[in-house]
Amino acid sequence: MKLGLCAQVGANLWSTKMRSLLALLGVLIGTAAVVALISSGELATRTAIEQLRRMGTDLISVSVYGLRGDHSAQSGSVSSQEVLGFSNILGVKWVAPSAQWPVSVMASGRSVDASVLGVTPAWAHVARFELEAGRFLTGMDAQRLHCVVGAEVSENMRQAGVFPVLGAWVQVGNQHCQIVGVGRRWPSNFFIMANLNRSLMLPLTMVQSLSNASVEIHDVAFKVMAGYATQVVQNQLESRLKQWKPKAQIYFKNPEALIEQVTQQRQTLTILLGVIGGISLLVGGVGIMNIMLVALAERKHEIGLRMALGATQRDIRQLFLAEAVVLTVAGGVLGILIGSLGVVVIAWISAWYYTFLVIPVVIGFIVSCLVGVFFGFYPAYRASLLEPIVALRSGY
């Protein structure tokens, strides 16, 4: 016996299965969009933050360039003396200047696709550059033609017939350098300007000497000592640089500031994606209202009959509202399941760090319920306002 409201609602919705399913589908897609978009935005942000943390939160990089038209000596680059001066700043553990030297690289008579980079021994620590074989450059190599190659350069050389790579000689410009170290594949780092996998690293002093000091230092990376705030150290560096080079353009990057920025943008992103998902849900809600208005038009006679049998306006309103809410809640629950599953797939494809996020699910559920009440109320209200005799005459 279907005396209860729930049983009545179930029977009514079941009797129009296809229509109910289509109405439910709109809310399902909307809720799935809300859950998937908010979760994806959050996971993408978390992944970005985690990647920044992995690069090292104790890292600062600075690029120095001269103003356009300013040709005064050294105004747009950092001198070796100034690099030494950075070491005196409190909190700076390592200073790693680097300079690109645009010369060709040859091995066994064949051209090798590699960028020549002048670096100091501290570079390996700051850039977290690890070796597969051999050693990195030391202070002893400062005036020697020794170099270290990245993973891709090493692979290219192997393919060119140079084997073993370690100990082999390569021609850099007009000079021949011996490879003393082969790097492991290096994960790209937003704070290091060069791609170390495709680099051939020479001692910076040697590069400057070979190029007759035409190679300038524009990029310097710093590692901050444990216990010192990155931003505080950066402020000191900035003040020192502005003092030395008042006319230079100075660009700082530090992971903590970036993480802070990404964290601040997270809220905006979440709201934006939530609104996009919400619009889909709104469309689903309009679908529910449409379906309920059609149901109202078709069931006027039933409403009249129920009123004749003793149903009050409230009973009729409850019946229609309950049907709308059941449709949206069912759509909402299915949408949450599909949306959550979608997030797992997106996270897997995008190689994001996956965590099940409760808040988007709760938001999706609450919003779908509210959509049901909001869009279900008007048809329910209209149904309840029907005059019994007018409703009873409908359809006959």
Partner 1 sequence: MIKCEGWFKSYPVGQRMYPVLKGLEFEIDTGEFVALMGRSGSGKTTVLNILGLLDHLSAGTYWLAGQAMMGHSSRALAAFRNTFIGFVFQHFFLLPRLNILDNVCLPLQYYAGDRDQAYAHCLQLMKRLGIAEFAQQMPAQLSGGQQQRVAICRALACKPKVLLADEPTGALDAQNSEEIMSLFKELNEEDGLTVFMITHDSELAQQSQRVLHLVEGQIELNTQELSG
Contact 31, 331 (CB under 8 A): yes
Q: Give dist(CA 116, CA 205) in Å, integer.
A: 13
Least distance to partner 1, CB of residue 22, Å = 18
By beta-carbon proximity to partner 1, the closer residue of 173 and 388 is 388
What six digits make up the tokens of 84?
Answer: 């030494």
Cα separation, 325 vs 333, whole angstroms: 12
Stretch that binds partner 1, among 91-99, 117-125, 170-178, 312-320 (CB under 8 A): 312-320
Select from 8, 75, 108, 171 the one that contacts partner 1 (CB under 8 A): 8
Q: Which part of the chain contacts partner 1 (CB under 8 A), choosing from 4-12, 46-54, 111-119, 339-347? A: 4-12
312 binds partner 1 (CB under 8 A): yes
Can you read off the two tokens belonging to residue 382?
């209209």
- What is the number of alpha carbons within 13 Å of residue 182 lying toward its C-beta? 18
Q: Chain-centre distance of CA 69, in angstroms?
A: 38
Which CB, 68 or 314, lies closer to partner 1? 314
Q: How far is the CB of 288 from partner 1 (least distance, A)?
A: 20
- What's the one-letter identity of residue 64? V
Task: State in angstroms the smallest separation of the CB of 376 from partner 1.
Answer: 20
Q: Residue 6 CB, nearest distance to partner 1 (Å)?
A: 12
With contacts defined by CB under 8 A, name the span among 222-230, 313-321, 334-342, 373-381 that binds partner 1: 313-321
Dihedral sign of CA atoms 379, 381, 385, 389 in order: positive
User: Could you tell me the smallest distance in angstroms from the CB atom of residue 48 to partner 1?
Assistant: 54
Q: What residues numbered 331-390 form the site for partner 1, per CB under 8 A?
A: 388-389
Is 3 near partner 1 (CB under 8 A)?
A: yes
Contact flags string 124-143 toward partner 1, x per CB under 8 A: --------------------
Question: Kindly report the CA angle at 208 between 124 and 83, in degrees rounded to 5?
Answer: 55
Scanning residues 270 to 309, which ones bind partner 1 (CB under 8 A)? 301-302, 304-309
372 SS3 class = helix
Between residue 168 and residue 187, which ones bind partner 1 under the rule CB under 8 A? none
Q: How far is the CB of 14 from partner 1 (least distance, A)?
A: 8
Binders of partner 1 among residues 190 to 229 (CB under 8 A) are none
Judged by CB, which is closer to partner 1: 96, or 391?
A: 391
18 is a site residue for partner 1 (CB under 8 A): no
Minimum Å gap between C-beta 311 and partner 1 is: 5
Find the shortest distance in angstroms from Cβ 40 to partner 1: 42
> Which ranges constitute the DSSP H helices of the chain?
5-15, 17-55, 80-86, 123-126, 151-159, 204-210, 230-244, 255-298, 300-308, 313-350, 358-384, 388-393
Q: What are the φ/ψ torsions at residue 353 (nearest 5 degrees)?
A: -75, 120
**Closest alpha carbon to 133 in 157, 155, 165, 159:** 165
Q: How many residues bind partner 1 (CB under 8 A)?
A: 27
Q: Tell me how far, at minimum, the Cβ of 390 lies from partner 1, in Å.
A: 9
Identify any residues that bridge with 117 across adjacent strands, giving them in sequence order: 100, 201
17 forms part of the interface with partner 1 (CB under 8 A): no
CA distance 41 to 306: 49
- Sign of the alpha-carbon dihedral angle for 211, 214, 217, 218: negative
Binding site for partner 1 (CB under 8 A): 1-3, 5, 8, 11-12, 14-15, 301-302, 304-315, 388-389, 392, 396
